[in-house]
Each structure stands twice: as structure tokens, then as C-alpha cells.
């Protein structure tokens, strides 16, 4: 029965991705091996999300909706300042389509 539970997954129309990396989101399906990149890549192939993930700049390490609020003081008039650029980068969310989300969840 334990093996059957491990081999069973629930896929619905309304899937949730968490504010973690794509690898961590996929690894949550098997928490004991959440850091096993070989297993995660195999899951990506089987779920159909490998091409989508490979097209992202940071691949499996792409952070999904990091939920980070930025605050600046005296940087708005200095767009060339490295801290301004870092602040702008943290604002960007990675959006995936509904179909891409389903493939990642699968």
C-alpha cells in the first residue's frame, strides 16, 4: 500500500506553485529526495516541462514569484547604481502559463 501511495499523484485544473525554485516545487512531490536533481530532471521529462524549464534563464533554479518587496532610499534617481539594478531584478516575477504550470506540477 505504501508503494501505491508513493506512485500516485493528483493533478487538478487548479494547481499551486510555491514561491520556491522550480526544482524545489517539483521536489516537493517526493520530499525525501527534494535535492536529487537527477530525479527532478527525470520528472520534468516525464511531466513534459523540460523544454519550458530549459528556456528559462536559471533553469531549475528559477525562482517562482519570490514574494520579495523591495525598498529603496535615494536610489530612484540613480538607475546605474548596482543596488538599483538588483532591486529592479528582484521585482520581476517569473510567470508561467496555465499549461506550463500543469506540466511542472505533473
pLDDT in tens, 21-43: 899 999 988 899 999 999 999 99
User: Phi and psi for 63 in degrees, rounded to 5?
Assistant: -85, 130
63 assigned to some structural domain: yes
Burial of 35 (0-12, 13-18, 19+ CB in 10 A): exposed
Burial of 36 (0-12, 13-18, 19+ CB in 10 A): middle
Per-residue pLDDT at 72 = 66
96 assigned to some structural domain: yes
52 assigned to some structural domain: yes
For 77, the domain range is 14-105
3 assigned to some structural domain: no
| 93 pLDDT above the threshold of 70 | no
Q: How many domains does the chain have?
A: 1
7 assigned to some structural domain: no
- Percentage of the residues of the chain whose pLDDT score is greater than 90: 26
Nine cell digits for residue 14? 487548479
Helix (H) or strand (E) holding 6: helix 2-6
9 assigned to some structural domain: no
Amino acid at each position: 500500500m505504501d508503494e501505491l501511495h508513493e506512485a500516485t499523484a493528483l493533478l487538478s485544473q487548479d494547481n499551486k506553485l510555491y514561491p520556491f525554485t522550480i526544482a524545489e516545487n517539483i521536489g516537493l512531490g517526493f520530499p525525501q529526495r527534494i535535492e536529487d536533481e537527477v530525479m527532478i530532471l527525470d520528472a520534468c521529462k516525464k511531466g513534459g516541462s523540460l523544454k519550458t524549464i530549459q528556456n528559462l534563464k536559471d533553469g531549475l533554479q528559477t525562482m517562482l514569484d519570490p514574494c520579495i518587496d523591495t525598498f529603496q532610499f535615494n536610489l530612484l534617481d540613480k538607475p546605474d547604481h548596482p543596488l538599483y539594478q538588483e532591486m529592479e531584478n528582484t521585482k520581476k516575477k517569473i510567470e508561467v502559463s496555465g499549461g506550463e504550470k500543469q506540466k511542472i506540477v505533473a
